[in-house]
Amino acid sequence: MDALVSKAVERLGRKKVWLVVHVVRQLDKSECTVSGVREALRRIHLYLDDDEFAALTRLFARDATTTTTTTTTTTTTNGDNNNNNAAFDTIAFSRAFLTTISPRRQHVVNLVLRKVDPTSSGFVTFATLCELYDTMRHPHALTQREPDTLLREFLNDFAEIHPNLGSSSSISSKNNNHNHNGGGSGSNGNGPGSGSIGITTDELAAYYVGISRTTTRDDDFELRCIRSFSLDRPKRNVLEDFADDESSRTTSHGSLRRRKSANAATGTAMHPLYRTTAMEYGKECEKATYDGKYSLNHCFTKYAPMQRGGGATSMNM
């Protein structure tokens, strides 16, 4: 599995590893064979050599080592010693992606899956992802980028499921109505009991497995998962917080008040980290009184004028 994930990151990109799970889970029941899976991988330009695919076959082919009474097992044009018509366990194959990362990273990915799919249905609609994805904790939010732009970039990672997934109209319709109908993604594109567009939890797990491959430190990967879906605290609505803050705070700076009201009118509220200006810090602090005898005024500069300067030089002219 490690060789498959590494090659998928190399050929498809770190944010497209979930396509491997997607194309395999799309196969019909009659195509869930060793040869069918290999052809599905070739359709997304993912070519494995014979030794690597033989290792996958030994793990997930159900009857690859048994001999049938009507046909002879063994070797095929693919170069392995397994039967091409052997059944391939696509469900176990899809869930094995998560086991390729460390237990620490598996835990935080499982927390993400539990957040987006609390009922363990195995399916997540894009409306749910739009609702739970926290764009204001995105690193690029500090550069005053629009939240819709950041959300559109996240949804574009799954654009193979629906061509117009990351468009502005699609995002607005998801925000306004969480029950849309549309074409699914193959055999698993429709949610249970509905026609909503979404992805499976195995595909979302494979998405984070690809990101984990290019993230060196465990802390960075954990922060990405935690901040993306606000696992450590409830997601904040910046516009509501800004309105509450404006109603409770009274400031004496007219320019600051006009700037904030203009931002609120245009819908581009300031980021929480930059909401307080330098002029407002310390306004509500209690001032402490100090005893003058401990202040040591002019202790270090009292005798400075009496010291010799060494004449006129380029340093004191």
Whole-number pLDDT of residue 189: 45
| 218, part of any domain | yes
| Chain mean pLDDT for the chain | 75
What 3-state DSSP class applies to 13? coil
> Do residue 173 and residue 222 come from a single domain?
yes
The tens digit of pLDDT for each residue in 111-152 reads 999 999 999 999 999 999 999 998 888 877 777 678 888 888
Q: What's the pLDDT at 82?
A: 46
Is 151 among the domain residues?
Answer: yes
Whether residue 104 sits in one domain with residue 217:
yes
- Would you place residue 20 in the very low, low, confident or very high pLDDT band (cuts 50, 70, 90)? very high
Q: How far is residue 278's CA from residue 301's CA, in Å, rounded to a whole number?
A: 30
Q: How many domains does the chain have?
A: 3
Which structural domain range is residue 16 located in? 2-99
User: Do residues 130 and 215 share a domain?
Assistant: yes
Q: Are 24 and 97 in contact (CB under 8 A)?
A: no
| Residue 80 sits in the same domain as residue 116 | no
Q: Give the alpha-carbon dihedral of 14, 15, 17, 22, to 10 degrees.
A: -170
* Residue pLDDT, tens place only, 44-87: 999 988 898 999 899 898 764 443 333 333 334 344 444 678 88
Residue 291 resides in a domain: no
149-207 per-position pLDDT tens digit: 888 889 899 988 876 665 555 555 555 444 434 333 444 444 444 447 889 999 999 99
Is residue 265's pLDDT more than 60?
no
- Angstrom distance (rounded) from CA 73 to CA 71: 6
Query: What's the pLDDT at 183?
Result: 37
Let me know whether 105 and 195 are in one domain. yes
* pLDDT value at residue 194: 40
Alpha-carbon radius of gyration of the chain: 30
Based on the fold, state whether residues 111 and 93 are members of the same structural domain.
no
Measured CA angle at 304 (ends 299, 309), to 5 deg: 160
Q: What is the rounded distance in angstroms from the CA atom of residue 160 to the CA atom of residue 20?
A: 12
Residue 290 lies in a domain: no
pLDDT at 246 over 70: no
| pLDDT per residue as tens digits for the range 191-220 | 444 447 889 999 999 999 999 999 999 999
pLDDT given at position 254 = 54
Q: Are residues 166 and 266 in the same domain?
A: no
Whether 81 and 131 map to the same domain: the answer is no
Both 92 and 142 in one domain: the answer is no
Question: Which two structure tokens, joined as six digits, stand for 20?
Answer: 């491997």
Distance between terminal CA atoms of the chain?
Answer: 74
| CA dihedral for 91, 94, 99, 105, sign (positive or negative) | negative
Q: Identify whether residues 221 and 249 lie together within a single domain.
A: no
- Are residues 76 and 130 located together in one domain of the fold? no
